[in-house]
Each structure stands twice: as C-alpha cells, then as structure tokens.
Structure 1
Amino acid sequence: MNMIYFLIGCSILLALIFLAAFFWASKTGQHDDTYTPAVRILFDYELPEQKIPEKIDEDHF
C-alpha cells in the first residue's frame, strides 16, 4: 500500500513538472506561429458565392 502512495505522489509531481514546462513554453512564445502569416497572402480563402438552386416543382416531371 505504501508503494501506491509513492507512485501517486511521483505521478502528481511529474504532472506538475509538465504543466510548469507547458506554461513556460507558452510564456516564452514557443507555440507562436511565425511561418503561416508570411505565406497567408499566397492562398485564396474566399469562396465564390454559390447560387442556391430554386425549388423544383413536381409539375415539370
């Protein structure tokens, strides 16, 4: 039973270390995307307007 308490303590300590590393990386800008804004102008994201087909009457068939 003592081993379970030890392993739970180790896992919580390891989780806190990873959480601190994540916050440190976010604070120092490690997750910032510096490449995409430079090439964004090369892509055309605007979709042309699509015409909505009119309702087809059953009388035409």
Structure 2
Amino acid sequence: MTIIFLLIFVSLLVALTFLGAFLWAVRNGQYDDAYTPSVRMLFDEEEQP
C-alpha cells in the first residue's frame, strides 16, 4: 500500500514539473508565432460577396 502512495506522489511531482515548464515556456514567448505574420500578405484573401 505504501508503494501506491509513493507512485502517486512521484506522478504528481512529475506532472507539476511539466506544468511549470509549460508555463515558463508560454511566459517567455516560446509559442509566439513569428513566421505567419510575415507571410500572411503573400496569400490572397477570398472576396466576400
């Protein structure tokens, strides 16, 4: 029974580590799209009737 509590604790620790890494990456602009705005003018937009 002790091993189950240990595994739950370790899995929560790993999950919180990945959540922290994800939030750090978002705050530092890792997921900002710098490429699309520069090529958006190259695509024709469809005319709306």
TM-score, L = length of structure 1: 0.74
Higher relative contact order (CA 8 A, sep 6+): 2
1:37-57 deviation line (CA, Å, top 9, x unaligned): 0000011123442xxxxxxxx
Cα displacement string for residues 11-38 of structure 1 (whole angstroms, at most 9, x for unaligned residues): 0000000000001000100000000000
| Partners of 2:4 and 2:45 in 1: CA distance | 54
Distance 2:24 2:48 in 1: 43
Provide the rounded CA distance (Å) in 2 between the counterparts of 1:21 and 1:8. Answer: 20
1:6 counterpart SS class: helix
Which of these two proteins has the greater Rg computed from alpha carbons? 1
Counterparts of 1:2 and 1:23, CA distance in 2: 32
- The structure where helix makes up a greater share of residues is 2
Q: Paired residue for 2:9?
A: 9
Give distance in 1, aligned partners of 2:44 and 2:25.
32
Aligned CA RMSD, in angstroms, stands at 1.1
* Shift of residue 5, structure 1, vs aligned partner: 0.3
